[in-house]
Amino acid sequence: MLVFAERGAIEMIRTVIRMETDMVMVLDEWGEQLPEYQGEYGIVKERILADAPMDAVFADGFTRDGELLTVPRGEW
């Protein structure tokens, strides 16, 4: 969890997407990327699971229509 003075709010992990390449993209509640959590799945997985709130959305990529392929947190 990070605090950004310019927004005056605490930014949290909202959406976590594991891509086909095993790279991970992490977004906050405004859809902004959180680069400190992004990287190779095997390297960032534990930190993300430790820091993400329980209502964060986890996905294993996208459908052909561009929808998130959501998965339960425990299966991500």
* 22 Ramachandran zone, left/alpha/beta (phi>0; psi -120 to 50): left
Structure-token match 């561009």, residue found: 66
Q: Name the residue ranges covered by the structural domains of the chain.
A: 12-75
- When mean pLDDT is compared across 1-10, 16-25, 42-51, 55-64, the lowest value belongs to 1-10
One-letter amino acid of 16: V
pLDDT value at 19 more than 50: yes
How much is the pLDDT for 8?
A: 44
pTM: 0.83
